[in-house]
Amino acid sequence: MQVLAMPRTGLMTIAAGLGRLTGWRRLGLSFLLGVFATLALPPVGAWPVLFLSFPGLIWLMIGVEKRKTAFWLGWFFGFGYFVFSLYWISHALTVFSDRLWWMVPFAAMGLPAFLAIYTGLTTLAASFFKKPVSRVFAFVLAWCLFEWLRGVLFTGFPWNLIGHGWAASDVMIQVASLVGIYGVSMLVMVTTAMPALFVIDHRPTRVLALGITILVPVLSLSFGAVRLAEAPALALDAAPDMRIVQAGIPQKEKWAREFQRRNYEIKLRMSVEDRPDSVKTIIWPETAATFYLEENEGARQSIGFLLPRDGLLITGAPRREADPSRPRGYRYYNGIVVVDKQGEVVENYNKSHLVPFGEYVPLKSILPIDKVAHGVADYSAGAGPRSLTLPGLPLVSPLICYEAIFPGAVINPNQPADWMLNLTNDAWYGKTAGPHQHLAIVRVRAVEEGVPMVRAANTGISAVFDSYGRELGRLPLSSAGVLDFHLPDPIAGRTLYSRAGNMLFLGVLAGFWIVILVVRRRQN
């Protein structure tokens, strides 16, 4: 099948040349285009590379008749995309100990191979459309559909969505307040896939494709510029009243018994050194207390001693609750504990969205392995997103590490929070792209929900974002330090996304699918 016109220009020659490739040359080039597309993601953020990757992939589909070939084209593209953008996951398997070295190939190749099924299904779906225009639009819509499914199926993994290419720009990412990150992905896709139609032998279609390619980012840019221009000025001169402590403790020393007291004292010291009188709330990262803080009165009293009057310490800490049905008599949680000046626990929280194999082992009855994180027993999941009422503070939605990556699932709609708090520990991933990607993802949540995001990380990157996603301060990766800041206000009113969630994106996606299927039926 000849999808596009015969070559007349340089671009047409390239498209036709790609369409004539067969076998491993076609699949190999698809893999390389996927690798190239990773430059669009944080920390590089060069999203214009997608103007080459996606049209290239679509042109490779020229002449593809077999459904199997169409699937493998997309699969190899996705495999290159995920292997090179998620390479840092393997780092986590060896940083704690060498006992999990045998899992490195599975993490480095197995997870990307699985995730690439979604991109394989994307090109497979597009292959059902014969006309060039329909095929390109079907490719865009299928990518958006399977990207959303990747975020919700099998506990979900919405990491490195293609929309994160716009996350590096304060202005471009503002549209997430309307349509969320999945909607941003749709805008990025429709923008960068349209050049595939520049080679079609039909001038009105080429003009339309050029118009969409230019108009969509220009409109997004304009919306973001206007929104930020009307936003209140940043409160940079306001007195700080919170402190993030980033102790910078290496992962291999974090849980070691011989370093436990030293690590704890480092955080206590950093909590009081050069602390302004206005600071009332101290924030430590995920599992900063590597023991059951609620059961250790002495440790809580030492925290109370360092806190100012009416002060609070919010820290990550393991938790356990008695449960005779469990082998060890306890149910364990990755939690947050809040301690006041009197050394009393005033609130706690249990992580609800756990990392498979990191914090629990799925199908453990048949998989003879332990979780990667410290401790033999699996963590149990908490009850889900909920807001905490803390003395002297606005309502807060706590998020432990991985929980912050799920669009539309970071705030309980029945308890709309005024700010989000993300406690994390990216020391697992060293100086790789992983912590930068995680930070960019967390930042998008602030734009979507229209509330500030405060992020405390063990070795970085700790940061504070206002309700427009603008960065107010950060502590660099692999460093130790403190960040004093004034908690920004949420925006007046709520964003469209915070009210509609992903329903607007899904509604638009469904509408476009109906249109394109009707067109396909009439063409047939």
Peptide bond into 461 cis (omega under 30): yes
Amino acid at position 387, single letter: S
Amino acid at position 150, single letter: R
Q: Is 351 part of the annotated catalytic residue set?
A: yes
Q: Following CA atoms 75, 77, 78, 84 in sequence, which dihedral angle do they give, to the nearest 10 degrees? A: 140
Q: Confirm if 168 and 440 have CB atoms less than 8 A apart.
A: yes
Q: Which of 280, 341, 351, 371 is catalytic?
A: 351
Please give the helix or strand (H or E) that residue 31 lies within, else none. helix 23-37
Peptide bond into 413 cis (omega under 30): no
Gap between the Cα atoms of 465 and 447, Å rounded: 9
Gap between the Cα atoms of 404 and 7, Å rounded: 48
Q: What is the C-alpha radius of gyration for the chain, rounded to an integer number of angstroms? A: 25
Angle at 217 between CA 447 and CA 86, to 5 degrees: 60
Residue 35, classified by CB atoms within 10 Å of its CB into exposed (0-12), middle (13-18) or buried (19+), is middle
Q: Is 471 part of the annotated catalytic residue set?
A: no
Q: Which of 286, 294, 403, 449 is catalytic?
A: 286
What tokens does 332 get?
Answer: 């364990």
Q: Which residue is it, tokens 């009057």?
A: 309
Gap between the Cα atoms of 232 and 381, Å rounded: 38
Q: Is 144 part of the annotated catalytic residue set?
A: no
Sheet holding 453-457, edge to edge: 396-400, 419-424, 453-457, 462-465, 471-475
End-to-end CA distance of the chain: 15
Residue 174, classified by CB atoms within 10 Å of its CB into exposed (0-12), middle (13-18) or buried (19+), is buried
Backbone phi, then psi, for 384, in 5-degree steps?
120, 180
Gap between the Cα atoms of 319 and 177, Å rounded: 35
Q: Please, what is the angle between helix 23-37 and helix 50-60, to 10°? A: 160
What tokens does 383 get?
Answer: 């009850």
What tokens does 156 get?
Answer: 């979900």
Q: Which of 147, 401, 403, 448 is catalytic?
A: 401
DSSP 418-478: SEEEEEE-GGGG-SSHHHHHHHHHHHHHHHHHTS-EEEEESSS-EEEE-TT--EEEEE-TT
DSSP structural state of residue 106: I
Amino acid at position 146, single letter: F
**In 44-110, which ranges are continuous DSSP H helix?**
50-60, 67-85, 89-95, 104-105
As annotated, the active-site residues are: 286, 351, 401
